[in-house]
Amino acid sequence: MHEDLLRFREDYPILASSVYLVNNSLGAVHRRTAERLQQFYGEWAAEGVVAWEHWVPEMQRIADLVGRIIGAPPGTTLIRQDVASIMGAVASCVDWSGPRNRVVYSDLEWPSSHYLWQEHRRLGADVVVVPSAGDGVHLDVERLVDAIDERTALVPISLVLFRSSTLVDVRPVVARAHEVGAWVLLDAYQAAGVVPVDVVRLDADFCVGGSVKYLCGGPGAAWVYVRPDLAETLRPTQVGWFGHERPFDFAFEPLRPAPGVLRFSGGTHNVPSAYAASAGYEGVLAAGVDRIRERSQALTQPLLEGALERGFVVRSPRDAAQRGGHVTIDPGRSREVHDELLRRRFVVDHRPGSGIRVGPHFFNTADEVAALLEETSVIRAGLGSGSG
């Protein structure tokens, strides 16, 4: 299915030297990234400080490319360094000393999110961590919904879980949160670029993610969408001068927040990272996320079934419709198998307690996925019996 997408292979140089199946972790770099970085350098070299005059609007244009990928209207997304600092800025909109001081999330969230909320206990946050189904794969959505009440300020939730690739049905969570006046902070990092995301249809209050994974944009270009009506009224305390209405006035005065999502800016923009990331975004947009999704499912379903046939443990949902872009397989002695795969230029990653994550993208072939399985079997057999 969608073999025509393979015409894009030549845009991703690493495919010539590796079986590159780790797009769930670090997406393959697009060859135009080099041109974009060269352009950045050229502008800096030729114009010096004057380059800011187009770097600032260019940041917004690039943020809008992400917006197209996640269904956000133009002008409602912003690029910042990393998800952690964006989540911190969102958290800083909440009055943790007031009666609505609860944050509710599952124990399958990205650990850095957990660290952030745990630290907010010191500011008065009432942190409720809802246990998942116990298999490390499925989130207990009903239990999560039940834990959300009128004391809840925020519900951080991943659309695709980073370990198992489970695609979470967040709709009941959003509905319950909004029923009681809480905000939903959607983490779409593992979804963006491989699973269609529509922040407006999902009615997310905030949506965060980054560019390192299926967007193939590299580090330093995380992004946030803030619901437009909220963005006009919220007042983060974690602010920077780019969040001022007129940053280049350098006015020593109480902050006049920039309009909309721009008030969530921190300090100086990370321009080169955004330039680099834009090449990855354009690659994803050229292929189209709906088609990428179909292609991804056509590659991952045989992978999952092949893993089961070989007797490997699979720690991802069996049904492709309930999965994101990767499949987590545990052939036993996963760490050692992973290390040997890497030595043989089969690039995947490993998460302790879960197994080997295999994340093909639209430019991968069915043969590459089949070869990965075969190589995994050979390596595993060579290690002999025993787990670990």
Query: Which residues of this protein are in contact with ligand PLP, per CB under 6 A?
Result: 82-84, 110, 112, 158, 162, 187, 189-190, 210, 222
**CB closer to ligand PLP out of 222 and 329:** 222
| Separation of alpha carbons 275 and 273, rounded Å | 5
Nearer to ligand PLP, 333 or 351 (CB): 351
210 or 217: CB nearest ligand PLP: 210
CB of 9 to ligand PLP, least distance (A): 25
Name, in order, each residue with C-beta under 8 angstroms of 270's C-beta and a sequence gap of 6 or more: 79, 80, 81, 220, 221
Shorter beta-carbon distance to ligand PLP: residue 211 or 364 = 211
- Residue 135's CB: how many other CB atoms inside 10 A? 8
Beta carbon nearer to ligand PLP, 190 or 265: 190
Nearest-Å Rg of the Cα atoms of the chain is: 21
CB of 110: closest distance to ligand PLP in angstroms? 4
Euclidean distance between CA atoms 216 and 198, whole angstroms: 19
Kindly give, in sequence order, each residue whose CB lies less than 8 Å from that of residue 57, ignoring residues fewer than 6 positions away: none
* Nearest distance, CB of residue 77 and ligand PLP, angstroms: 15
Question: Nearer Cβ to ligand PLP, position 82 or 330?
Answer: 82
Q: What is the dihedral of CA 373, 340, 328, 349, to 10 degrees?
A: -130
In the complex, least distance from residue 191 CB atom to ligand PLP, rounded to whole angstroms: 9
d(CA 89, CA 86): 5
Q: Judging by beta carbons within 10 Å of its beta carbon (0-12, 13-18, 19+), is residue 298 exposed, middle or buried?
A: middle
CB of 212 to ligand PLP, least distance (A): 6
| C-alpha neighbours within 13 Å on the C-beta side of residue 131 | 3
Residue 214: CB minimum distance to ligand PLP, A:
11
**Cα 3 → chain centroid:** 26
Looking at the Cβ atoms of 161 and 299, the one nearer to ligand PLP is 161
Residue 326, strand partner residues: none
Report the nearest approach of ligand PLP to the CB of residue 338 (Å): 17
